[in-house]
Structure 1
Amino acid sequence: MEFPLVTLPGTILVPGHVIPLYSHNQHEVAMLKSVVDSPHKTFGVVALRFDQHRHIIASIGTTAEIYSVKNETDEASGISTITVLAQGRQRFELIEYRRTITGVLLGKIRILPDAELGNALYPLQSSAQRRLCCHSDREEDMKVAMDSKGRIISCVRMKPRSKLTRFSNANLTWWPPWVYKMYDTELVMKRIKTALQKWDDKLHPQKLPSDATKLSYWVTQNIPLDDTLKLHLLSINSPIQRLRCALGIMDKCSVFCCQHCNKDITGMSSIFSMSVSGPLSAYVNPGGHVHETVTVHEAHNLSLQGRPSTEHSWFPGYAWTIAQCRHCYSHMGWKFTATRKELQPRKFWGLCRSSLVPGMADLNEGPEQESSWTPVM
Structure 2
Amino acid sequence: MVFAAALLFIFLVCGGVTKFQDTNIRPGELTSSAIDYFLCRICGNDLSPVSTLMHIDCPASLKSRTTHQFGIKDIRIHTVQNSLHLKFDVIILKKAFCIGKGNWQSDFSWFPGYVWKVCVCAHCGQHIGWMFEPLHLATKDKIYPSKEGFYATIVSSIVNEIYADSLIVVPKHFTARSLTSDKLN
Does the TM-score normalized on the shorter chain lie above 0.5? yes
**1:350 corresponds to 2:152:** yes
Aligned to 1:359: 161
Aligned to 1:320: 116
Alignment of 1:207-356 (within 5 A): 248=26, 254-275=36-57, 277-278=65-66, 279-300=76-97, 302-340=98-136, 346-356=148-158
Alignment of 1:1-377 (within 5 A): 248=26, 254-275=36-57, 277-278=65-66, 279-300=76-97, 302-340=98-136, 346-360=148-162, 361-363=165-167
Q: TM-score, normalised by structure 1?
A: 0.29
Higher relative contact order (CA 8 A, sep 6+): 2
Partner deviation per Cα, 1:32-82 (whole Å, 9 max, x = no partner): xxxxxxxxxxxxxxxxxxxxxxxxxxxxxxxxxxxxxxxxxxxxxxxxxxx
Partner of 2:26: helix, strand, or coil? helix
Q: TM-score, normalised by structure 2?
A: 0.56
Contact 1:338 1:345 in 2 (8 A): no
RMSD in angstroms over aligned alpha carbons?
Answer: 2.6
Partner deviation per Cα, 1:277-307 (whole Å, 9 max, x = no partner): 553211011212111111011111x111100
What is the rounded CA distance, in whole Å, between the counterparts of 2:126 and 2:56 in structure 1? 24
Partner of 2:128: helix, strand, or coil? strand
What is the rounded CA distance, in whole Å, between the counterparts of 1:248 and 1:291 in structure 2? 27
Aligned to 1:64: none
Partner of 2:54: helix, strand, or coil? coil
CA deviation after TM superposition for structure 1 residue 345, in Å: 6.1
Alignment CA distance shift 1:250-1:329 (3 Å): farther
Partner deviation per Cα, 1:210-241 (whole Å, 9 max, x = no partner): xxxxxxxxxxxxxxxxxxxxxxxxxxxxxxxx
The total of aligned residue pairs comes to 117
Amino acid at match of 1:328: C
What is the rounded CA distance, in whole Å, between the counterparts of 1:250 and 1:333 in structure 2? 29
Alignment CA distance shift 1:281-1:345 (3 Å): farther
Amino acid at match of 2:157: S
Q: Percent identity?
A: 23
Unpaired segments ≥5 residues, structure 1: 1-244, 366-377
Partner of 1:363: helix, strand, or coil? helix
What is the rounded CA distance, in whole Å, between the counterparts of 2:29 and 2:123 in structure 1? 28
What is the rounded CA distance, in whole Å, between the counterparts of 2:166 and 2:148 in structure 1? 36
